[in-house]
Structure 1
Amino acid sequence: MDIGIREKISPKPGSGNIQPRKLLLRALAGERTERPPIWLMRQAGRYLPEYHQVREAAGGMVGLCTTPEHAVEVTLQPLRRFPLDAAIVFSDLPQVAAALGQALDYRVGEGPVLTPPVRSTADITEFLSTSRLHEELAPIYETVRQLSHALPTETALIGYAGAPWTIATYMVEGRGGAASEHSIVKQWAMSDPDGFQPLMDLLTNAIIQFLSRQIEAGAEAVQLFDSWAGVLPDILFDRWCVKPVATIISALKAQYPDVPVIAFPRGAGLSYDGFAQATGADCVGLDSTVPLEWAARKIQRELGRCVQGNLDPQLLVAGGPALHTQTERILRGLSGGPFIFNLGHGIAKTTPIDHVTAVVEQVHAWKTPTA
């Protein structure tokens, strides 16, 4: 690993307090900026060869997330290659589940595996607790603290957590991904909602604490990833997706009113505008299926909210004219209001680095039309 990582990026003066003129923070405050800020979900990750070197040195994903030296390094890596407007602290969604008492492992071909799976109300009371939450998550807070001093002065620092429903799917299914179609967690939530509620309450409280500590450590904005919101049927979407996220945002705003919150309810479809209005999120992350014209009208203009998104990650893999054309279409479609350019989901591990360079350069060259 390069021991001179800090010299390569000019340090941020002070203690990481919010600097209002940062482009990302201006967009999150509802401003229509001269060009959209850009960052990319999973921008620190497997498509970068230097990432693999650090992950190997860390002994795997768990070590990478829980060793601040390594987590800081991989967070900074994409900023050395691309002039991105934000860094997002390197961690992983199941870290909260592990901090609550499950054992977390990463297996080749399977991703995160959590044991024992939570399958009943008795399991919740038997082995899950917030008593060691901050002790277990302390390395992530330290990573945020170090990043708040290491980032360029113009680069915003984003903290994050999984939303309660998405973390619950990991905890109940015992693993990530969609291989099981989330049948176990959905059946529990449908057949015994009152028995499932304590798990969601526990997670909601833990996530409020987790994000609050990241803000105290220097995060200037936070994002809630509800990656599996789209598997919920309409009848359960409000209870298990909207209400927990609204509770978290309300609690954060009461304590940190100037810290913006991005919420990403992937797969929410026609529920996106209702989600944006009910949760109070400052910005809503759009997945790749959301029509641009609809998002501009319903979320930017009618609700007055910032939107983030929504390039298909596979277009970033494909590159060429199709990538350039769709990037241009997104820029034209969403630059009429507050807007952050991003992907509709995370970067694929097969993404060519020069394709990322091309998109970042195209966004930087864009000039938002005057009203």
Structure 2
Amino acid sequence: MSPTAIPARADGAPVERAWLSEALALIAAEAARSADTHLLRVPLGGLPGIDLYVKDESAHATGSLKHRLARSLFLYGLCNGWIGPRTTIVEASSGSTAVSEAYFAEALGLPFVAVMPSSTAAEKVAEITRYGGRCHFVEDPGAVYVAAARIAAETGGHFMDQFTHAERATDWRGNNNIAQSIFDQMSRERFPIPRWLVVGAGTGGTSATIGRFVRYRGHPTRLCLADPEASVFHRHLSDPAVTTVSGPCSILEGIGRSRLEPSFLPQLIDRWIAVPDAASLGAARALAEKLGRSCGSSTGANLWAAALLIRDMAERGETGSVVTLLCDSGDRYRSTHLDEAWTRARGIDWKTPYTGMVAFLAHGSSPDTKTDA
């Protein structure tokens, strides 16, 4: 049990308001200790009328964008009466959400079980374990949902189910969500209202929060989805009848899914770009060199899509700003995406798109001409 953990009642009595108040106070205190994440301007050569920014979500205490989601999911579960002083928390995750939920579970003194594909990066597994969580692996990524629900039932615990609750757990109208933070930080920039916001989707929670906020505030900003080629989301946006895909999944952890998740709201997406895995890996490396900080591959997917949007803006003679997310650090993928032997064994040529992205950042030339919508 962590030093700040809340003791459970020995008689197993139902959750009381006193325990709930303490739990909420602990989460509020954690949020108060957490400074907002930086909005970084990415220098673009050859494009004087267009500004590119990345919001560095790797600065969170648990190292990723999912820290916000985990906090929201715990608050949602607590206030709905689903989480009590003895509740085992169970989540289906590709890693980052589980890391963040393990952190909050430890703070509340609650057991945590992460159900994840066996291919999850070892670095993420180590972080979950460091926060006191237990990892349950499945061979088929599509089996995480059923396995998580089963474990929750067997332990009398609570299945957090990020893929269902992500879009409703966060207050999309404000309350310091990621969308409000971006617009507040952009307020003094040359083009304070972005033309485009670019995000990936795993649960769909981030795109739902940003899409709703943009509409709620009446901004003309448009939302672009950067989606791995193997993912179902961009296929569904092209053909609403498509809700699942079969075959090998993307190697990217955190974005792209084989089924249309309940939290993904397609009507909020204005444009979508299918990004090859190799392009994501190459772009992440190029951005890491440009910014001097490590970037995960989902960030590379975001950058690749942003670069294609900027290419189109430049061709039309448009000016303005584009904002995307640095989702997590590449340090979590030292044994996978950043390992040369690992990528070579899978036949991934990231060097060609890396060269194209380096040229884009330096001179404004298009990194590629892949098909997008």
Larger % of helix: which? 1
RCO greater where, 1 or 2, for CA within 8 Å and sep 6 or more?
1
* TM-score, L = length of structure 1: 0.36
* TM-score, L = length of structure 2: 0.36
